[in-house]
Amino acid sequence: MRFTITDRRDRHMKIIAAGGAGFVGSNFIHYWRKHHPWDTLVCVDALKRRSNLRNLGDAFEAPDFAFIEADITDQATIESILKVEKPDVVINFASVGRNSGGVDACLDTNVTGTVRLLEACVNCGVPRYHQVSTADVYAAIALGDDHQIYETEAPKPDSVYAASKAAADNFVLAYGNHRAIAVTISRSTANYGPAQEPNALIPETIIHALHNQDIDAPGTGQNVRDWTFVDDHCRAIDRILFNGEPGEIYNVASGAEKSDLETVQALCDAFGKSAGQLDNAPAPGPKDKLFTVNADKIHDELNWTPRTSWSSGIQNTCDWYLHHMDWWDDQNSQK
């Protein structure tokens, strides 16, 4: 089934963002309000962390924005929301991550929650669904190996989180194949930007720098990650919603491949601090990995390219944390 959102001039669109109070979801809500101000957004979130609502900031003042506290595993409640709201699109950002969930939490939200949300969408006639997945579903590449990870690569998850996201993706594709709903999936590399949980590498390093605490990279610091600025990830989802082919997966990567040491160094430089570990860094070893994917498909077919350079993304992120100390103090106090 084809479903393309074409003419923006004759109708406004209503989007439900499940998990929209989290890091990526709240940035998406701000992105969408800026770039598509005529549309209506409804954020549905179970508020797994109490201060998430603050991520939505001034969205609450907009007449075309609503927040509903609900859990995507509760299909009856989700269906009652969908019947009232009648969205054109549901985007699923709701997720329990690497650090915050055990096996049960990953199964509940990432797998069961995705299936319940899909089932509710089908039962309520929602025509379009997008799953925000992750590049973590693929295996990392050995450093120096030039293997390219395309969307056709079989997932090879190496954590419960990644396995639960890969399982959810299979359900999404199955619903797209056999039920009356057009689905797409995005798999982005690691994101950074405003309002990311404080225990992720970039916010944690920034917070340590601001508190004059020791700054170290994880492990040997030689793992290399592709970093996508969160706003670029949001724009990739925008492109997929309008021009993506139903049933397709789109990798998202910016090409900013940095070792963890380089990342820590960039943040130290931004704050004029030094990182003790950096002077005696070991050479990369056989266990060090590259975490990235090939994003030619979204580039060639949907004309998406990242707009935020590594240096401006880092500067933007440092500025945000510097000016939102109450936000991350609040988050840290809830650990």
Residues lying near ligand NAD in the complex (CB under 6 A) = 18-19, 21-25, 45-48, 52, 71-73, 93-97, 109, 113, 132, 134, 165, 188, 190-191, 197
Closest to ligand NAD by CB, 4 or 141: 141
Q: What is the DSSP string of 101-145?
A: --HHHIIIIIIIIHHHHHHHHHHTT--EEEEEEEGGGSPPEETT-
Taking the mean position of all CA atoms in its chain, how far away is CA 78?
22
Residue closest to ligand NAD when measured from CB atoms:
22
**Minimum CB separation from ligand NAD for residue 38, in Å?**
25
Closest to ligand NAD by CB, 97 or 194: 97
**Minimum CB separation from ligand NAD for residue 330, in Å?**
14
Closest to ligand NAD by CB, 1 or 103: 103
Element holding 269 (H helix, E strand) = helix 260-271
Closest to ligand NAD by CB, 134 or 265: 134
Q: Which two tokens stand for residue 317?
A: 């992120």
As a 3-state breakdown, the chain gives helix, strand, coil percent values, each rounded to 5, of 45, 15, 40
- Other CB atoms within a 10 A radius of the CB of residue 121 amount to 26
Q: Are 113 and 106 in contact (CB under 8 A)?
A: no
Q: Give the CA distances from residue 319 to residues 203, 267, 270, 276, in Å, rounded to whole numbers and listed in that order.
A: 11, 11, 10, 23
**Minimum CB separation from ligand NAD for residue 133, in Å?**
6
Closest to ligand NAD by CB, 52 or 265: 52
Q: How far apart are CA 283 and CA 80, in angstroms?
A: 56
The region, left, alpha or beta by phi > 0 then psi within -120 to 50, assigned to residue 297 is alpha
Closest to ligand NAD by CB, 15 or 94: 94
**Minimum CB separation from ligand NAD for residue 94, in Å?**
4
DSSP 3-state of 41? strand
**Minimum CB separation from ligand NAD for residue 261, in Å?**
19
Among candidates 188, 172, 180, which has minimal Cα distance to 298? Answer: 188
Closest to ligand NAD by CB, 46 or 206: 46
**Minimum CB separation from ligand NAD for residue 213, in Å?**
23
**Minimum CB separation from ligand NAD for residue 10, in Å?**
32
Contacts of 211 (CB under 8 A, 6+ apart): none
CA dihedral 307, 260, 48, 167 (to 10 degrees): 80
Closest to ligand NAD by CB, 30 or 285: 30
**Minimum CB separation from ligand NAD for residue 93, in Å?**
4
